[in-house]
Amino acid sequence: MSRIRIDFIGCPGTGKTTLINAIEDIQKNWFSSSSFISEILLTYYQKDNPSVSVRLKSLYNLLQGKKGVTGIDKVRLKHFYSDHFDSHRHVLRTAYRTIFDDEQEREFVKFTRLQLLYDALKAQLFFEHHKHSASVVLFDDSFCNMLLLSILPQNIDVKKFKKWAEPIRTSHFPNGVIYLYADCDTLFKRLRKRKQKNTSHLHLNDDELRSTLRSQIDLYEKTEKLLNSIGVPVLKISTTEDKNRYIELSKKFISSL
């Protein structure tokens, strides 16, 4: 079965998770990355003889419609990461330099950015190395979403990016990218209504949040240009439009790849 990976990019508040969940609900064998990871863990990494309490917890999660996975053989999982994570060396070395050279950012935020990157790269390893039932996997906190936020310096130009990307073009970049955007005022209002705050926004007042959002909008515009420069297809969608319309646009884009 051919497999397609789609990375979603865009500022917090653009609706990446909402769109992914909507597509997953209506498309057979198109999985969000969280559902895909749960399937991989259940198929390859469950303990051979889970305890009664673990089985009961798994049944409870199933009845509640939760995606949490219990009874994981963590030793086996660590062996898998140890065997394969070196394939991310090029990405991680760049990310370490970029993040720790950022003197303006809080150390806790730096750590959080690295943790999100680790999780995204772990999910990519699952996608590359395990069989699964998904024909399309939709990645939310994706490799491409983090290019200028956590991996590459923000001032990188196209020539340097193409040179950096060449060794990992076929192993790390997706079949396509869906770029969700909205204007700064819309994003600001959405984020101020959120109960769950983004880590990097925790201590920001209104003016600082607006400034951060404008900077991130610029970064994602640049990310789109960088991806185009190496031939990665990008669909750009405004999420201030009709939701059903951008769901259909996304489906058509993915089906065309």
Q: What is the DSSP string of the chain?
A: ---EEEEEE--TTS-HHHHHHHHHHHSTTEEEHHHHHHHHHHHHSB-SS--HHHHHHHHHHHHHT-----SB-HHHHHHHHHHHGGGGHHHHHHHHHHHHT-TTS-HHHHHHHHHHHHHHHHHHHHHHH---S-SEEEESS-TGGGIIIIIS-TT--HHHHHHHHGGGHHHHS-SEEEEEE--HHHHHHHHHH-SSPPGGGTT--HHHHHHHHHHHHHHHHHHHHHHHHTT--EEEEETTS-HHHHHHHHHHHHHT-
Per-residue pLDDT in tens (0 to 9) along the chain, 257 residues:
578 999 999 999 999 999 999 999 999 999 999 999 988 988 899 887 766 565 556 555 555 555 566 678 899 999 999 999 999 999 999 999 999 988 888 899 899 999 999 999 999 999 999 988 899 999 998 999 999 999 999 999 999 999 999 999 999 999 999 999 999 999 999 888 887 777 778 788 999 899 999 999 999 999 999 999 999 999 999 998 888 999 999 999 999 99
The structure's pTM equals 0.90
pLDDT at 52: 55
Structure tokens that stand for 9 in this block: 């990019």
- For residue 140, the enclosing domain spans 4-255
Structure tokens that stand for 4 in this block: 């397609």
pLDDT at 61: 59
pLDDT at 175: 97
pLDDT at 58: 57
pLDDT at 50: 62
Burial class (CB in 10 A: 0-12, 13-18, 19+), 6: buried
Domains held by the chain: number: 1
- CA distance to 75, 81, 122, 178, 237, per residue, from 78 (Å): 5, 5, 11, 31, 38
pLDDT at 46: 86
pLDDT at 65: 57
Q: Which residue has the tokens 């050279």?
A: 101
Burial class (CB in 10 A: 0-12, 13-18, 19+), 21: middle
CATH (domain of 46): 3.40.50.300
220/147 Cα distance (integer angstroms):
9
